Homo-oligomer: A and B are copies of this chain.
Amino acid sequence: MMQGEIKTAVLIGAGNVGWHLGHALNEMGIRVLQVISKSPSSCKELAGLLHADYTTSLQQLAPEAGIIVIAVPDSRIEEVILQCDFHQNLVVHTAGSVPMEVFNGRAVNYGVLYPVMTFTRSKPVDLASVPLLIEANTTGNNENLNVLATRLSGVVRTISSEQRKYIHLAAVFACNFTNHMYALAETTLALKEIPFDLMKPLIGETSDKINRLSPRAAQTGPALRNDIPTLEEHLRLLDSHPDIAELYRQISKSIITFARQKNK
């Protein structure tokens, strides 16, 4: 028997995460009753797509919801929580970097539902393969959250706030910093007015490799080979961008350090 099975949801936040979670919940038959966002146009638009009510006021939070999902930027979670009355409803946030304890004393039934993914509004993501990391304040809440998450994704795990912090940090390397490497490539090509498109097959293959090889086994390039003439030539090409040259030097050094550890 699935006591407390979640059948309805309220969404706080109408950004990228709210947009994707809202659609996924609706598709899985968990009806989104209400969308709350401080942006009137965003919450009206998303509510329209989800056939939900909408408001810009946290004081208008619907009193009955199977689950309240807070999908606002990490730095705004605490301020949102302080303005809400969650009653006995289960409430979760979706942030990697915020501990579950942010709900202490402000909610009775609470937890975290963290999707390890980067979301862009205009680009559909198949949530089925996205890891959903859950945590809850009681075994019962964890069970309910687990049932819900398993309807959305094939990869659900219970993870502590402490572990989730490290996963979020790893995601910064794997996503945000990786994307900045693409931006640095684009900037380098722009020095000679070469279009970035040239990099796209290489970028696709580099990420695809990871499905077969560990990152350490997949490493290639002049730094790994300790190819000093090429490293020096690259720094020379970056003469006009000393900040990028310094970053090139630091990352190359880190690759060499990793290679030495591996060979030990």
Residue of B201, B223, B247 near A250 (CB, 8 A) is B247
Cβ contacts A214-255/B at 8 Å (1 or 0 each): 111011111111010110011001100001101110110011
A173: shortest Cβ distance to chain B, in Å? 4
List of B residues within 8 angstroms of A218 by Cβ: 120, 179, 182
Residue of B74, B179, B184, B199 near A116 (CB, 8 A) is B199
Would you list which residues of chain A between 99 and 138 have a CB under 8 Å from chain B? Answer: 116-118, 120, 122-123, 125, 129-131
Inter-subunit contact A206/B178 (CB<8 Å): yes
A243: shortest Cβ distance to chain B, in Å? 6
Inter-subunit contact B131/A201 (CB<8 Å): yes
A203: shortest Cβ distance to chain B, in Å? 5
Q: How many copies does the complex hold?
A: 2
Cβ contacts A181-213/B at 8 Å (1 or 0 each): 111111011011010101111111111111111
Cβ contacts A86-98/B at 8 Å (1 or 0 each): 0000000000010
Query: Taking chain A's interface residues, is the majority helix, strand, or loop, or is none over half, making it mixed?
Result: helix
What's the Cα separation between A233 and B199 when bound, in Å?
Answer: 33
List of B residues within 8 angstroms of A200 by Cβ: 210-211
What's the Cα separation between A165 and B74 when bound, in Å?
Answer: 41
- Identify the closest chain B residue to A125 (Cβ): B205
Query: Does residue A175 face the partner (Cβ distance < 8 Å to B)?
Result: yes
What's the Cα separation between A254 and B244 when bound, in Å?
Answer: 8
What's the Cα separation between A63 and B181 when bound, in Å?
Answer: 44
What's the Cα separation between A117 and B2 when bound, in Å?
Answer: 52
Inter-subunit contact B203/A174 (CB<8 Å): yes
Inter-subunit contact A75/B225 (CB<8 Å): yes
Query: Does residue A170 face the partner (Cβ distance < 8 Å to B)?
Result: yes
Inter-subunit contact B191/A166 (CB<8 Å): yes
Which interface residue of A162, A198, A250 has the most chain B CB atoms within 10 A? A198
A189: shortest Cβ distance to chain B, in Å? 5
The 7 closest A-B pairs by CB, nearest first: A176-B221, A207-B207, A183-B215, A182-B215, A174-B185, A170-B185, A173-B185
Q: Can you list 30 residue pairs at the A/B interface with Cβ under 8 Å?
A: A73-B227, A74-B227, A116-B199, A116-B201, A118-B209, A120-B209, A120-B218, A155-B201, A169-B234, A171-B185, A171-B199, A171-B202, A173-B181, A173-B185, A175-B205, A176-B223, A176-B224, A177-B184, A178-B178, A179-B219, A196-B214, A196-B215, A200-B211, A203-B207, A203-B210, A204-B207, A206-B207, A207-B207, A207-B208, A246-B250
